[in-house]
Amino acid sequence: MGGYRNFQSLIDLVPGSMPAQFQNASTDTPARALATNINATARNSNNTRIDGAASVMTWLPHHALYIPPIESIEQVNIATNNFDAEQGMSGGAAVSVITKSGTNNFHGVVFEYHSNHKWGAKNLFFNPNTPAGSGTPQRIDNQYGGTFGGPIKKDKLFFFTSWEGTTTAERGNGLLSVPTAKVRSGDFSGLTTRVDASYELVATRKTGCHKQVTGLASKILAHCARLPRDWE
């Protein structure tokens, strides 16, 4: 199911699909829905139905709103062309998810999935020359939960419930540059890339006249420094 243990990873097995990716932060998409392009269509052309109900995040329509826990899913069907009438609202992939239900016997599952950076290799573009050191960057994932179902009235009424939690501890490293004293003063002569300094910045005063500031350095400094109050 990939690093996110998400049923949407199955889309990678469908011809015409791009690899599914997590494209937003977990703060705005806590279900960690994956997005993909099918047959060169837009990401929001896909439609996911869970037990017949459309699951679409209206704010980010290329994401499904709810992602059922892996252990609660009975069946996943993905169609990318020749849709049936019941698979409307889709120009890319029509994804149908059927969840499990209770039976005449009580059944339950408890699971824990653990992934640790100590068991993996460094990224191909890993840079060891950072304050974080040369060790593998921290990435610890835990996904845990369980399901339970059974009869309320034999052969008549059943129940099924599931719960899943995910925690991630991650640290990254990077190499950044800060402006030198010469650069902050507007002297870019020490940079390896030379820039044409013939650009001009025209700042408009509230009085309607114009003040011309020449030089690329002045243009950059004008954006970084606080302008006079009578400038707009």
One pLDDT digit (tens) per residue for the chain, 232 residues: 555 678 888 888 888 888 888 877 777 777 788 888 888 888 888 889 999 898 888 888 888 888 898 899 999 988 888 877 777 777 888 899 999 999 999 999 999 988 888 887 777 777 777 666 777 778 888 989 999 999 999 999 999 999 998 888 877 666 677 888 888 887 777 776 554 544 443 444 444 434 444 555 565 656 555 545 544 4
Domain total in the chain: 3
Alpha-carbon distance 103 to 74, whole Å?
Answer: 13
Residues 9 and 48 in one domain: yes
Alpha-carbon distance 121 to 114, whole Å?
Answer: 16
Residues 7 and 86 in one domain: yes
Six token digits for residue 78: 């993905």
Phi and psi torsions of 87, nearest 5°? -110, 45
Q: Give 3-state DSSP helix, strand, coil % of the chain, rounded to 5.
A: 15, 30, 55
Do 173 and 129 touch, CB atoms closer than 8 A? no
Residues 7 and 92 in one domain: yes
Question: Which range of residues forms the domain containing residue 187?
Answer: 181-224
- Which CATH number does the domain housing residue 92 bear? 2.170.130.10
